[in-house]
Structure formats: C-alpha cells, structure tokens
Chain A
C-alpha cells in the first residue's frame, strides 16, 4: 500500500530532480495529510484519531516498554540486514549509478524509470512499516503525528548521520532521539545548582533547542560526512592505538 502510493508520488521524479523533487514530494505529503483528515472512510473523519490495540504476538500481548523494545528491535534488525544486502545487489548498484549521474546510468543500460520508481517504492515500504509500528507504540493513529515536522526530523537524522550509509542513518536516529533527553538530564542536574525550579522550567526547553541546533551545526562543520564518517575515523584511530606512527 505504502509502496504503491510512494511510487505514484515518485512519478514526478522522472522529470525533475534535486531540490525541486524534494518540494514536489512535500506537496504530495500535504495532499495525503488533507485526504486522511477529510475523507471519513479512511480515518473515521470527525475526530480523526484511531485507537490502536496493543499488538499480540504468539498469543501474548505486548505491554511493557521492554517488550516493545525487543519487538521493534527485531524489525529494525530485519530492515538493516535487508538494506545492507540491497545496497550490494544489482538494484543497489543501479541506485548508486542513477544517483551519481543518471545520463551515464542510462547509457550503461539501467532503466531509469523503473529504478527511480523502485527507489520510491522501497523507501515508502520502509516508511509504511515504520508508520504501522509507530502507531502500535503510540497507541493511537492520528494524522497529527505524521506532519511535515516529522519529515524534517528524519531529514536531520540522515544528514547528521551521514548521507548514503546505513550505519549513518542509525547513528543519526540515535543522536536526534537521545539528544533532547540527555541535554535535559544534564541541564536539570547542572542548572538545579544555580537556578530556581521555576526559572529552570522556563529555560530548559528553550536551551535544549539552542543546544540541539548548535550541535547540528558543529557536527556538520566538523565532519560534513556525518556521524558515520566520524565513527570510521575513531575506529581507524584505535586500530593502531597507541602506537600510531
């Protein structure tokens, strides 16, 4: 389902590319959002929010956070293995070729139409699976959880992690998710020594945004290729540690 819709949204990619394509897909998102909100047989219409039952696995209902963690981890592992394998397959190679220079790719015999749509379909498939798991986790399905800021968050994850690498997107996701939580801990602990609770409550959320933005800028300035490159550098450094040169 998600793959089909993704492929439909991907059709403009045949004619446009780069920034313009990104804008076209964002427009697609707005159309979908509006449709879900207003077509009542999809979402239930008036109060467009659906209560999702807890998933049942082999007769056991998942209740605690820990159970959910394992459940989701399984899907994440499958997705990661599949993606790594995909990147090494003919399809993956074709994607890389199209990305780097589509005219050249066409000349060496890659059907651009097919592979571009396939790319959209596969990524939409992942997004669709994630979306379903996400509603399980949240307990409700509501279009307000899938608005444009989510897209921007995901984009941030990929850029921070490093474009074009599986490891990078994992790092990026961990980084973007954990950063607000860690900064909150640190600020609460440190700030509690200086400020009153009322001031602290006022400052933390805003400071968190500032730190978040600043860290993204610092990381990108320091390592434009993202966290995955940073990680590889660290690994490379320790491989010969302590006797480097």
Chain B
C-alpha cells in the first residue's frame, strides 16, 4: 500500500512539473490565431482524418509564402471527438488565445457555439453542415454555412434530377434515403417545399444510426416504391452500404445522387471499388480531383522539404474541402487586415472580411461565391460529379457550378416557435 501511495505521489509531482515545463513558446510578433476543430477519433473520423490535414497543409503553404499581409497564421487544432462539451472547452481556449476566426466541425457543435460566437464576436464557419437557416446573415451574424447548406444541397439535388428527367418533375417519384438524425432531417423542409411547387411524389426512408443496416429500406425503395430517382443523405459508413445494397438490388446507380457527405472516394472504395459504384452521382461544394494550382503548390512544398506529399491528398473530395475552408479563412483575414490598414484585426473585422469575399476561385476549387452581410452562404453553389471509370468526373448535363435553387431566405422555421428565444 505504501508503495502505491508513494508511486502516486511521484506521478503527481512528475506530471505537475511537466505541465509547468510545457509553457507554450512565447508568441512571435505579428501572429494571428485561427481555431480549428476537428474529429479524428469520433463518429465522423472518416472525414476528419482527411479534411483536417488539408486545412493544415494550406495554412502551412500560406505561411511558407510569408503569411497573410505580413502576419503568420497559427492554426490551433483541437480534436473534439464529435462531442459537444470538448467543443465548448476548445472554444474557450480559442477565445483565451485571441483567435480571430474558428473553423467549426459538426452540426451539434455548431449549434451549441452559435450563441457564444455572437456574444464574443468571433466568426465561425460550417462548410456543408450546420444550421441551414444561418445562411441568413442578419439573423445569424457570426455563423457562415459557406459553400452549401443542407437546404441548398437538397434543392440542388432536385434541380439536377429535374434536368436529368427532361425538365419536368410532375408525377415523378423521388425517394429520399436519409440518416435518422437532425442533420438527416435538415433538407426535408426544402424537399417538401419543392414537392409542392414541382408536383413530384416524395417518400422518405429513414436509416437508423449507425446506418450500416438498410436492406429493408433499399428493398422497399427498389421493389415497392420504384422511384425515378433516389437522393441519398448519409454519413460515415452508411453511404458505402447504400451503394452496395442498391447495386445488389439491381437499381441503376446512375439514378442515385448522394449529398455532400455521401460522396467521397473513401465511400466508393468501402462499397467495393469503382466498378461497383460506376454511375453514382455526388454533390460537391468544392472541386474534386488533383488538377488545381493549390494542390500542385502543396505537393511542391512537400517536395522542397524532401518529403512525399501526404497520402491524404489522394482522397481529393475531403482534402479539397479542407483547402476550401482554409482558403476562405485566409481570404477573410486578408480582407480584414487590408480594411484595418495593416493593423491586427479583431473577430468583428474578420467577420466583415468574410462578407467581403468574392471572386475567390483558386482555379475552380472554390465555387464562385459572393458572400454578403445578408447572405452568409454565398449563393449555395454546388457541383455534380459522377463515378466513372475509376474517378469522379464532372457531370456534363448541368452547369459547372449550380447556384441555390428554389428557395430564398426562408423565415425562421428552424426552431419551434414556442421554445425560441
């Protein structure tokens, strides 16, 4: 017993001295902190392990080129395991470090931090997830669901199907296969709206978490409902299961379109490879593939350091989304510093910096979005790709980038009214 007690004491003393030793290195002059939340271990780690290196590489690239307007950017990544309390703890740390903007990660985390962001005047971005209604910048001043919210994705899917089916959806059947959680429910309002205006038949098929068992739903879709098109809104492991099951049921994958989190190379590989997924359509809010200047520069940066480019780069869908998120933050910070005439910007300045973003394309990697004080989504642009011959190929029947379709800023339907503040 004595030994244990002594051991515990020694351990406590050692850890205490360690914590003291690890004082962070003194901040260099002219440095800006950007907070980055990530999930490399939790429920959505399939995304996080690719997306977050993309963000880091882009910031490294910017710093290796001398930073932004003379400022070095320090990226502080904190892994929150897709849980809300660690996300809040991480946020408090960012605040203490004086972060000027924060890359959020995950819909519940975004919702939890929305109020705090407003109070502390720090802008946060939620690319491709989060609260769709936050596209309305006057109601949600410090949240940016940039690129494409779930509403825009759902609407874009309908638009794409409409074009595919000859420009008229009247009497057509569309199946909506979704992951049964709040994010899965999110596009429903917009689908329901469009169902009324476009007069198609819509049926929802829920996949309960964790989403690896959907044989019954797929049978129901393919044998009973027999839709003209399927919209698949799934996360994590489940997109690959959907591809596999639909294939097995003999449903043509060219009549399936996956929203943005059901659309990565990893999903196709997990489904059994490109030959299985041939024809599968995906919605993307960042460019897919290798042919973008930013990616070439990152590869060159690694070469210059005598290293191989990281293997994460091969999963272009998520990696490029990381580049997009990082590029937007860099651009916003740049705008903010310019507006302040070279002085160190505050969170409020960076928010205005975000709202001043336009014409940032990075050679086609980023959609041609125009953010403004009222439109925090920048137009809701997406691109459609199809799995073809071992990679995602840009769908030719639709324009290069599709803007938001069929919805303007909807009134505040997002919270039940009696419970809203």
- Residues of A at under 8 Å CB distance from B? 34, 37, 43-51, 53-54, 63, 65, 137-140, 142-145, 180-182, 184-186, 188-190, 197-198, 201-202, 204-206, 208-209, 222-223, 230, 233-234, 236-238, 244
B26 at the interface (CB under 8 A from A): no
A205 near B81 with CB under 8 A, answer yes
Contact yes or no, B41 A206, CB < 8 A? yes
Among B53, B112, B115, B414: residue with most chain A CB under 10 A: B112
Q: Are B52 and A138 in contact (CB under 8 A)?
A: no
Return the CB mask of B1-25 against A: 1 if under 8 Å, else 0. Answer: 1101100110000010011011000
Chain B residues numbered 402-416 whose CB sits less than 8 Å from any CB in chain A:
414-416
**Would B182 and A51 count as touching, CB distance under 8 A?**
no
Does more than half of chain B's interface fall in helix, strand or loop, or is it mixed?
helix
Q: Would you call A49 and B41 a contact (CB within 8 A)?
A: no
Shortest CB distance B112–A (Å): 5
Choice from B4, B19, B78, B421 contacting A53 with Cβ under 8 Å: B421
User: Tally of A-B residue pairs with Cβ under 8 A?
Assistant: 127
**What are the 7 tightest A-B residue pairs by CB atom distance, in nearest-first order?**
A189-B22, A44-B416, A205-B79, A205-B41, A237-B5, A205-B40, A140-B111
Tell me the complex Cα distance, A205–B5, Å: 30
Q: How far is the CA of A223 from the CA of B85 in the complex (A)?
A: 29
Within the assembled complex, what's the spacing in Å between the Cα atoms of A47 and B410?
14
- State whether A202 and B188 are in contact (beta carbons under 8 Å apart), knowing that A44-B415, A140-B111, A188-B22 are contacts in the complex: no
Give chain A residues whose Cβ lies under 8 Å from the Cβ of B181.
37, 144
- Please give me the residue from chain A that is nearest to B307 by CB atom: A196
A214–B340 alpha-carbon span in the complex (Å): 50
B56 touches A201 (CB 8 A): yes
Q: In the complex the two chains form, what is the Cα distance from A137 to B86 in whole Å?
A: 12
Q: Are B111 and A49 in contact (CB under 8 A)?
A: yes
Specify which of A49, A139, A230 is in contact with B116 (CB 8 Å cutoff): A139
Report the minimal beta-carbon distance from B242 to chain A, rounded to whole angstroms: 20
Told that A51-B111, A139-B112, A208-B79 touch, could you supply 10 new A-B pairs with CB distance under 8 A? A46-B185, A49-B108, A50-B419, A189-B19, A201-B53, A205-B41, A230-B8, A234-B5, A237-B2, A238-B5
By the criterion CB–CB under 8 Å, are B414 and A47 in contact? Answer: yes
Q: Contacting A197 at CB < 8 Å: which of B56, B108, B116? A: B56
Contacts of A209 in B (CB 8 A): 41
B79 / chain A contacts, CB cutoff of 8 Å = 201, 204-205, 208
